Amino acid sequence: MKELALKYGCNPNQKPSRIYVTEGELPIKVLSGRPGYINFLDALNSWQLVKELKAAIGLPAAASFKHVSPAGAAVGLPLSDTLKHIYFVDEAKTPLSPIACAYARARGADRMSSYGDFIALSDTCDEATALLIKPEVSDGVIAPSYTPEALAILKEKRKGTYNVLQINPAYTPEPLEHKQVFGITFEQGRNEIKLDDPKLFENIPTQNKHFTPEALRDLIIALITLKYTQSNSVCYVKDGQAIGIGAGQQSRIHCTRLAGNKADIWWLRQHPKVMNLPFVNNIRRADRDNTIDLYIGEECEDVLAEGAWQQFFKTKPEPLTLEEKRQWIAQNHGVCLGSDAFFPFGDNIERAHKSGVDFIAQAGGSVRDDHVIDTCNKYNIAMAFTGVRLFHH
């Protein structure tokens, strides 16, 4: 099949719409559902990310995409009991495979942003992974293959309308890319840079020049994630998964703040008060996620006020005070931070430090590199200048 007609483009008024190739066959099969224009944009971008993560790290990888940027990305490291609990997979009926662990991490990092996502899996979708996907609000999934059990589960989702895509993992696109804007065609070479090259981390201008093997792994994950994230973008990573992604901001410090706030929320969800919230029975997943987000944030009275808390909790929880949040966040360390271009000022480092960042990889080349380096030295942060920009539009 060379082309596939779509219902409409980005918006219902944008017709006609299709995806097609000029030579050969489409590398995608629709196994279930009727994916749309944005679904395919998310699917193809997210597939590239997980394929590259798998090749670089050597572990199964997963991504959760929304509006052509990742909400989460991760490799298939085992989950601690704490992570199983905050990702709501601690009662999984089937033992979690590596690809299921990758998906649980990718989806669980920022559940608010992942609501209604498109999922990418680097490896065969198995039953364990399909069972995790089944109860989530999601638009679809793309993977190189599916076990019969997994496909049966996914085909039943959303009364049979859930989008299930299979991609040929051997597919290689042409080296030149084209896109049209306002009737004008743009052409460029594909971004084929390999971000697991050790040379990217050899230029270390900071006093602290030590990167642990885990930090190098997580920095590679950050950079590969940024390669497929709408710019400007920064990515916080810890223990093999993105924990905060800031995408599409005009100011880099806004990216750093946005992603840092998400990383803080990820960490605060592990606070004992949050892990032990006494939710009412049968609370919907979306309501539970929204409630946790409000409880952690500045609008906690929205769920703790009299007449409100009874909708969500069996008993009224004690608030998580500002001081408790500060003390808990201060315990987070070993976080890695990647940026798709240089940090222009040290304020980005100041903000990153507040979220436990100890390792940074960024392009370098700012006229204020000296200020950025000095700020890293102030906090004993190890930083590498990669010399690589990763803009994505």
pLDDT band per the 50, 70, 90 thresholds, residue 192: very high
Q: What's the pLDDT score for residue 87? A: 95
Q: Quick one: which of 372, 370, 357, 385 has its CA closest to 201?
A: 385
Q: Quick one: which of 37, 101, 94, 30 has its CA closest to 72?
A: 101
In a domain, 180, yes or no: no
Separation between Cα atoms, residue 263 and residue 110, nearest integer Å: 9
* Number of domains observed in the structure of the chain: 3
Q: Quick one: which of 101, 123, 125, 105 has its CA closest to 114?
A: 105
Q: Quick one: which of 337, 165, 342 has its CA closest to 258?
A: 337
Checking if the pLDDT of 167 tops 90, the result is yes
Same domain as 313, residue 209 = no
pLDDT tens for 308-365 read 999 999 999 999 999 999 999 999 999 999 999 999 999 999 999 999 999 999 999 9
In a domain, 160, yes or no: yes
Q: What's the pLDDT score for residue 344? A: 94
In a domain, 173, yes or no: no
Same domain as 258, residue 112 = no
% of residues, the chain, pLDDT over 70: 100
Range(s) of the domain holding residue 10: 3-167
In a domain, 172, yes or no: no
Same domain as 100, residue 213 = no
What letter does residue 243 receive in the DSSP assignment?
E
Same domain as 134, residue 53 = yes
In a domain, 177, yes or no: no
**What is the average per-residue pLDDT within 129-155?**
97
Same domain as 131, residue 30 = yes
In a domain, 11, yes or no: yes
Separation between Cα atoms, residue 152 and residue 177, nearest integer Å: 36
Q: What's the pLDDT score for residue 92? A: 79
Helix (H) or strand (E) holding 164, with range, is: strand 163-167
**What is the average per-residue pLDDT within 267-277?**
96
Integer angstrom CA distances of residue 211 from 208, 219, 239, 332, 381: 9, 10, 14, 17, 10
Same domain as 127, residue 249 = no
pLDDT tens for 282-315 read 899 999 999 999 999 988 999 999 999 999 999 9
Number of other CB atoms surrounding residue 268 within 10 Å? 22
Q: What's the pLDDT score for residue 9? A: 94
Separation between Cα atoms, residue 28 and residue 238, nearest integer Å: 32
Helices of type H across 175-251: 213-227
196: CB partners within 8 A, 6+ apart: 55, 56, 57, 220
Checking if the pLDDT of 214 tops 90, the result is yes
Same domain as 214, residue 106 = no
% of residues, the chain, pLDDT over 90: 96
Q: What's the pLDDT score for residue 30? A: 96
Q: What's the pLDDT score for residue 218? A: 98
End of a domain among 122, 150, 167? Answer: 167
**What is the average per-residue pLDDT within 16-40?**
94
Separation between Cα atoms, residue 231 and residue 57, nearest integer Å: 24
Q: What's the pLDDT score for residue 94? A: 86
**What is the average per-residue pLDDT within 270-277?**
96
pLDDT band per the 50, 70, 90 thresholds, residue 80: very high
Q: What's the pLDDT score for residue 263? A: 97
Q: What's the pLDDT score for residue 1? A: 82
Same domain as 363, residue 243 = yes
In a domain, 54, yes or no: yes
Separation between Cα atoms, residue 360 and residue 381, nearest integer Å: 7
Q: What's the pLDDT score for residue 342? A: 96
Phi, then psi, of 71 in degrees rounded to 5: -85, -25
Checking if the pLDDT of 55 tops 90, the result is yes
pLDDT band per the 50, 70, 90 thresholds, residue 4: very high
The average confidence (pLDDT) of the chain is 95
Contact between residue 220 and residue 199 where contact means Cβ atoms under 8 Å apart: no
Same domain as 30, residue 9 = yes
Same domain as 117, residue 30 = yes
pTM above 0.85, yes or no: yes
Same domain as 348, residue 239 = yes
Checking if the pLDDT of 91 tops 90, the result is no
Same domain as 236, residue 119 = no
**What is the average per-residue pLDDT within 89-93?**
84
pLDDT band per the 50, 70, 90 thresholds, residue 93: confident
Residues catalogued as catalytic: 66-67, 232, 393
In a domain, 52, yes or no: yes
Q: Residue 59 sits in a domain of what CATH number?
A: 3.40.140.20
- Per-residue tokens: 56: 């670089």
Checking if the pLDDT of 105 tops 90, the result is yes
